[in-house]
């Protein structure tokens, strides 16, 4: 693989982590796929290998890497398993990330430190039955009761929902749809009133996805993340960087599917020659290679803008949009070019084909991304 302008430390991290994922993570992921569960031992394996939080600061227990490190990390992890990658992403970026940026010292000690050691698993409770990309449409209510807050509502499609020890919950602390009416709370999932229920999915079988009910859940006031009414700003900040990182999940699916069909096209014989020697096959694989390189450059551009402190909302949405389209297109073409073999469950390309459509949805649908891009162009 070309270096795409990566520094030496990024290239070395990619090479070492790729071998680690192949040797240590992939076997656990394959078992999780068969058993339709997230293999929690992945956290121990990643921690012991020094790969649990590579793009978190060293002073809080991370690896000290930057956003590009995170991009490489999620691409390589997704190549082994999109489901495992989804669980780790929800734990690290969606749950631990906001605590790092907005949490108090007490909250960092109680939640962030054990999360980065893999001792406590986190989840991010944003989406609801009637609200997802429309953050202002959140209906979960939080009302003050003495020194506590009492939460009532429900969350849907929550990654890690049935395995999490704690969950960040976005709830309405005001009666209006205004930005000041939304607050994020740190909720212990063992508290009375928290009810997770596992959901069955088309793909990403090695991840936990849940419906979570919240019935009179009492949350102490010291578990308000940041300050009252700051929830919308925190969520937007988390989602912008998240789109850059999650784009690498789509990229990872495409890269893995491409490498599988490239190898297969050289091995599979038809009419006395390898199928890769036929123009119809060769051109499809060449198109995959071109698009994968283009999307990786787009993602890295967005990451570098973010690292430089520049506004990159448009570039993040472009990267996420193009990566998700790439994942679905390349996975489908790779399965097709495998012929009958590609339709067999024992073939990894079949799993990639099932997993790919989720890339259209996570961190905002493609229509949401196009809306962000259109607004940045002054179109509405």
Catalytic annotation, residues: 363
**Among residues 104, 124, 358, 378, which one has the least CA distance to residue 246?**
358
Question: Is residue 250 a contact partner of residue 319, using CB atoms and an 8 Å limit?
Answer: no
Answer whether 51's CB lies under 8 Å from 117's CB: no
Cβ count near 225 (within 10 Å): 22
Q: Could you tell me which of 333, 350, 330 has the C-alpha nearest to residue 341?
A: 350
Q: Which strand (E) or helix (H) includes residue 347?
A: none
3-state SS assignment for residue 160: coil
CA 244 – CA 70 distance, rounded (Å): 9
Beta-carbon neighbour count of residue 298 at 10 Å? 21
DSSP class of residue 119 equals S
Q: In this structure, what token pair is assigned to residue 285? A: 């694989």
């Amino acid at each position: 693989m070309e270096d795409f302008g990566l520094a030496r430390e990024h290239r070395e991290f990619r090479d070492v982590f790729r071998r680690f994922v192949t040797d240590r993570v992939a076997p656990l992921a394959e078992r999780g796929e068969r058993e339709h569960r997230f293999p929690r031992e992945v956290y121990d394996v990643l921690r012991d290998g020094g790969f649990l939080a590579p793009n978190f600061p060293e002073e809080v227990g991370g690896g000290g890497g930057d956003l590009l490190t995170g991009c490489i990390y999620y691409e390589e992890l997704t190549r082994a398993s999109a489901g495992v990658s989804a669980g780790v992403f929800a734990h690290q970026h969606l749950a631990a990330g906001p605590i790092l940026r907005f949490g108090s010292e007490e909250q960092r000690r109680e939640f962030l430190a054990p999360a980065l050691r893999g001792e406590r698993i986190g989840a991010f409770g944003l989406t609801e039955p009637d609200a997802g990309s429309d953050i202002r449409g959140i209906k979960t209510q939080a009302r003050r009761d003495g020194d506590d807050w009492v939460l009532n509502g429900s969350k849907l499609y929550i990654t890690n929902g049935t395995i999490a020890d704690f969950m960040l919950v976005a709830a309405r602390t005001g009666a209006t749809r205004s930005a000041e009416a939304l607050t994020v709370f740190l909720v212990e999932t063992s508290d009375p009133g928290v009810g997770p229920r596992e959901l069955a999915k088309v793909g990403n079988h090695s991840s936990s996805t849940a419906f979570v009910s919240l019935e009179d859940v009492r949350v102490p006031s010291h578990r308000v993340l940041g300050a009252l009414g700051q929830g919308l700003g925190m969520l937007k900040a988390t989602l912008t960087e998240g789109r850059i990182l999650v784009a690498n999940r789509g990229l990872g699916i495409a890269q893995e599917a491409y490498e599988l069909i490239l190898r297969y096209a050289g091995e599979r014989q038809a009419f006395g020659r390898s199928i890769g020697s036929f123009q119809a096959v060769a051109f499809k694989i060449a198109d995959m290679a071109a698009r994968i390189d283009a999307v990786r450059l787009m993602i890295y551009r967005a990451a570098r803008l973010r690292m430089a402190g520049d506004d990159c909302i448009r570039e993040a949405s472009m990267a996420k949009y193009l990566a998700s389209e790439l994942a679905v297109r390349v996975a489908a073409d790779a399965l097709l070019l495998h012929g009958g073999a590609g339709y067999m469950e024992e073939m990894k390309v079949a799993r990639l084909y099932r997993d790919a459509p989720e890339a259209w949805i996570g961190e905002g649908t493609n229509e949401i991304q196009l809306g962000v891009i259109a607004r940045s162009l002054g179109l509405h």
